[in-house]
Amino acid sequence: MNTQSNTLPGSLDGSQGSPSAVLPATRPMYWSLRREFWENRSIYIAPLAAAAVFLFGFLISTITLPHRMEATLALDPEKQREAIQHPFAIAAGLLMVTQMLVGIFYSLDALHGERRDRSILFWKSLPVSDFTTVLAKAAIPIAFLPLFTFVLTMATQLIMLLLSSVVLVASGRGLTGLWTQLSWFQMSSGLLYHLVTVHALWHAPIYGWLLLVSGWARRMAIVWAVLPPLAVGVIEKIAFNTSHFGNLLGVRLSGPEVYSFNVPGSMQMDPMIAMSYLRFLSTPGLWIGLALTGAFLAAAVQLRRYRGPI
C-alpha cells in the first residue's frame, strides 16, 4: 500500500517514478469532489426527485388551470400577480427546503460515514490531504447544493411555464396575464441572491458545526449536533431567564431580513432595497459566522487527521 501511495502522484501527473513530480493544486480537490458525487448520489437525486414529484402534481393541477386563470384575471393587478406567481413560489420553497435537509444529513454523515465503514483507511492512503478532503466535503452543502438548487428551480419553473402556456393556448384562453405578471427576472435574481447569501454564506457555520460533529462523534451524530446548543439555551434560560442564544440560533436558521415578500415565499426583491445587499455584506453576524465556519472546519481537519475508524 505504501508503494502505491508513493507512486500515485507521479502516475497522476504523467511522470511515473520522477521524484520531482508534483500534483497540480486543483487535481486533488477535483477528484475529492468527484468522490463526494460518486459516494453520495442523494445530494442530487433527492432534489431531482422532489422536483419530479412537484411537476407531476402541477401537471394534474393544469386540468383546472383555464378556469382558475379566468377567475384570476377578474382580480386587481396586484392580486393577479400574487395568484400567478404562487405556484412558482411553492416550487422554489419546496426545493430550497429539500436542499437544506440534504445538506444537513450529508454534513452529519460526511466524516462519520467513512469512519464507520472504515473506508477512511483507504482514502487516507491516497496523496490527498485532510484539509483538501474536509474542504471538498464542506463545498457540497455550502457551494454545490445552493447553485444546483438554483439551476433545478429555474428548470422546474420553466417547465411549469411551458405547461401552463400549452394548456392555456389549447383551451383558447391565450397567454394574457401569464407572461406579463410573472416577473421572471425579478424572481430568478431574488432566488439566486437568497440561495447564495442565506443558504451558502449565512448557513455556512451550521454546516461547519455539523461537519465537526461528524468527525468527532462515534455514534448518533445528530444527537451530538443538537444536544450542545440545546443545553446552552436551557442553561441560559435557567440561570439568567434570557434567550439570547436561542434568538441567535433562530436568526441564523431563518436568515437576514433583506427581502420584500410581496409574494409569500417568492423571494422577489424590491428594487428599492438593492442597497441592502451591501448592508448584508457589512453585517457583523455574517463575518462572525464565516469565522466560526473556518474554526469548525479547522477542527474537523485535525479530527480527521488523528481520529481512526470507529
Q: Is residue 8 part of a domain?
A: no
Number of domains in the chain: 1
Q: Is residue 239 part of a domain?
A: yes
pLDDT digits (tens, 9 = 90+) for 253-276: 887 755 443 433 444 444 444 556
- Give pTM, 2 decimals: 0.82
Beta-carbon-side half-sphere exposure of residue 54 (alpha carbons within 13 Å): 24
Q: Is residue 2 part of a domain?
A: no
**Which amino acid is it at 275?**
M
pLDDT for res 66: 78
pLDDT for res 53: 96
Cell of 127: 496523496
pLDDT digits (tens, 9 = 90+) for 74-120: 777 677 777 778 888 899 999 999 999 999 999 999 999 888 888 88
- Look at 166 and 308; give whichever has higher pLDDT: 166
Distance CA 131, CA 301 (A): 6
Q: Is residue 70 part of a domain?
A: yes
Q: Is residue 199 part of a domain?
A: yes
DSSP sequence for 216-239:
H-SS-HHHHHHHHHHHHHHHHHHH
Distance CA 285, CA 214 (A): 24
Q: Is residue 120 part of a domain?
A: yes
Kindly state the DSSP code that residue 241 receives in the 8-state scheme. Answer: S
pLDDT digits (tens, 9 = 90+) for 50-61: 999 999 999 998
Q: Is residue 21 part of a domain?
A: no
pLDDT for res 145: 95
pLDDT of 155 > 50? The answer is: yes
pLDDT for res 16: 43
Contact 283, 256 (CB under 8 A): yes
Domain that holds residue 194: 26-306
DSSP sequence for 36-100:
HHHH-THHHHHHHHHHHHHHHHHHHHGGGHHHHHHHHTTS-HHHHHHHHHHHHHHHHHHHHHHHH
Distances (CA, A) of 293 to 94, 113, 135, 210: 26, 21, 11, 10
What is the average per-residue pLDDT within 204-221? Answer: 93
Q: Is residue 75 part of a domain?
A: yes
pLDDT of 10 > 60? The answer is: no
